[in-house]
Structure formats: structure tokens, C-alpha cells
Amino acid sequence: MTVAVLSSTDAFARIASSLCVPNPGQDAERTVAFVCQVIRRAALAVTPCGRSALETVAVEALRGFWSDRATLASTVEQATEELLAYGDLLEMQVPVEGSGRASFVIRAAPPHHVMQGADSCVILGLGNEEITPLPASTLTRVHHLGALRFLNGDGASDLSAFLAENGFPSLDQKGWLRLPREETPGDFLRVWWEKLAAQDRSGEIEGLRVISVESSVRYYKGRWMEPAKLSGRFVARRPQAYGADLWCIVELDGGRSVRLLDVTSAGDLRRPCDIAWRIQMAQDALAGRRQVFRVVRNDDATFVEFLSPLPSWAQRRLLVSGIRTQRPRCLMAFAIRRDELPNVLNFLKNCLWLEETTH
């Protein structure tokens, strides 16, 4: 056996090749694709497990190629979030024995595909031993764009039928999107405030952070603060012994917690963060300070830019009408087909209660 000493650049290129993605170099979109493949590979080895455990495995695998560990950890965290949003990974509740409470674990989604038009699809989920268990001739047509894997047909056969025969059953768009019904922000909030009001008094909660309704909707990170002397009902996060902070809603009186409810949905159909972000959107809309998006048009494309996080189902809906892309001065952005823009704007205004801004 011959042992070769490789430079970090050559080793990085070989890892990218083994993961069936292009060497990312300095390209941001390709870097996301590369990191997502590393996380998928890690998921095959260690899931089911907590999210932090999965991310730690990915960070340790890549730390020799990043000069700054904090930047790498942030990149892995964002990539994991996208894999959860699009459905490659699933975050599910499991009961904690003897505690009467539940924690969240990550599992790999089973392989499936969602058609986009007659001869193109999104590949989702993982195999038992391989990330994308398809014939080598088919893998050469898989195109990685950020966290997503797209596959174009060969023009000679039925792509959906071929994938189903090879272990990737079809999932229709409705099943993939799992969109909530349209309703007013007041009707949506009323359900959650009634659930909160039904809770017993909570007492003091260490480490609680809340989103201030009075803060600027243009800077998401700056909206988070300690309860201080706040009163009212808020979207919040609270620490737990192991794993990421839990999403919740809380009633405060002079900074003291009166009632608290962890936000979950029956059957894990909605991620807690997705529920919480929509509650905040509804609160902002009723307060007359709607969260905003920008539409930027140029000769090549129409971009919709967001300054706050979007629920995963909203991101999937936007992918039906375009692709995710990198843009300056925003939290996330999508390049939208021009003929789809009216549908997208209607969706953003009626399902998320957002409004368009020009700056």
C-alpha cells in the first residue's frame, strides 16, 4: 500500500470528489453544497442523535480546513438549518424517560423526490449506506445548488418512474410544502394565546430571552433581549440541560415570567422555530410594524430579499417558484421566475403577513 502526503488543498479537493460535489474554492454557494454533503455523510454515521452532536461531528471533520473554528461552526449550523428546512433531515420529539418531558433528535429522512416540471426534480433524504444511492451514470446529472440536490432527466425516459424504481418514491408538492391555511394574524395568534392562558403559573426562568415587538424588524439578531422590565406576551427561547435552547411563548409581568408554553405541533408536522417565527410575524403585523421584504429587479433576474428568518415551509414554497441565492444586505434571498412573482407576493402577504419595502 502506498501512502501519499497531501497538501490541505489536495485533500480538500479529494474529499469534495468523494462527496460528488465540485471543489468549492472561494464560491459561497458551492461551499454550502460541500458542507451539506459532509453533514449528510455524518448523519449516515451518527443519527439518530441531538442536533448539537451531529454538528459537532461535522465541525470536527472539517476543522483542519477552516482557519477560524467559530466561522466553521456557524457555517455548519446554517447548513444544518437548511437541510432541516428542505427535508433532508427530520427533527423529531422523543420522550425523556422519567422526566415527563421531551427532547429533539435528528433523523435522516428516507429517500424521495419532488418533481419540478416534467423532467426535473429535487432529490431529498438519504440512503441507508450512501448519501444518494443512485447509479453512477445518474449521479453525474445531479446538480448541487446550496443545500439542494437537483436532478434533470435524460430526455428519453420517465424521470419520476425511474427514481421510484431505484428507491426514491415520489412526494407530491402539496405533501412536501405542508403549507398552513391562510388566516388573519389575529385568528392565528388567538389560538396560541388561549393555549398560553391555560398554563399554570411558571415562576422564574433562568436564561430566558425574548423578541421585543418594539425593536426594528430590519435587524433580527438585534431584536433578542433579556426580559428586563417587559410586560406582555412574547416569543422566547429558554435553555435546557442538553441541546439547543427551546422555543416558547411567555407572558411577562414587569420582567417576571407568569406563564410559559413550549411551542410544538402534533406529530412534529411543524418545527418549533417555524411556529415561533410565524407567531412573531403575526404579532408584528397586529402591532403595525410588519416584517418586510425587498424585490430587486435587474436584466437577469428578479430577487426577493428577506431581513428575518422564514419558516421552512415558506422556503420550500419559494423554491417552487425559483432558487435560493446569495445577496448582500439581507438574511436570505431567492431568485424568482418573473411569471411566478405575483403568486409569490400574494403568498408572502397573505400567509406570512409581510409587506414590501423599497429600502
**Inter-residue contact 125 to 110 (CB < 8 Å):** yes
Q: Report how far Cα 328 is from the mean position of its chain's Cα atoms.
A: 19
Between 118 and 159, residue with greater pLDDT: 159
Report the 10 Å Cβ neighbour count for 178.
14
Q: Among 310, 328, 331, which Cα is nearest to 319's? A: 310
Q: What is the CA radius of gyration of the chain?
A: 22
Looking at every residue in the chain, the average pLDDT score rounds to: 91
pTM > 0.85: yes or no: no
Report the 10 Å Cβ neighbour count for 71.
10
Q: Which amino acid is at 304?
A: V
d(CA 101, CA 264): 12
- Categorize the per-residue pLDDT at 184 as very low, low, confident or very high, splitting at 50, 70 and 90: very high
Q: Among 86, 87, 89, 92, which Cα is nearest to 105's? A: 92
Cell of 36: 451539506
Please tell me what DSSP assigns to residue 170. Answer: B
**Inter-residue contact 272 to 264 (CB < 8 Å):** yes
Inter-CA distances, 303 with 100, 287, 297, 316, 331, Å:
46, 27, 6, 16, 13
Q: At how many degrees (to 10) do helices 51-62 and 69-86 cross? A: 130
The model's pLDDT over 287-345, given as tens digits with 9 standing for 90+, comes to: 999 999 999 998 878 999 999 999 999 999 998 888 888 889 999 999 998 889 999 99
The model's pLDDT over 64-117, given as tens digits with 9 standing for 90+, comes to: 899 899 999 999 998 998 899 889 999 887 766 665 566 788 999 999 999 987
Read off the pLDDT of each residue in 157-172 and give the average, rounded to a whole number. Answer: 94
pLDDT reported for residue 100: 57
Length of the chain: 359
The model's pLDDT over 108-149, given as tens digits with 9 standing for 90+, comes to: 999 999 998 788 899 999 999 999 999 999 999 999 988 899
pLDDT reported for residue 346: 96
Residues in CB range of 171: below 8 A, 6 or more apart:
112, 113, 114, 124
- Categorize the per-residue pLDDT at 245 as very low, low, confident or very high, splitting at 50, 70 and 90: confident
Read off the pLDDT of each residue in 33-58 and give the average, rounded to a whole number. Answer: 95
Read off the pLDDT of each residue in 173-190 and give the average, rounded to a whole number. Answer: 92
- Categorize the per-residue pLDDT at 210 as very low, low, confident or very high, splitting at 50, 70 and 90: very high
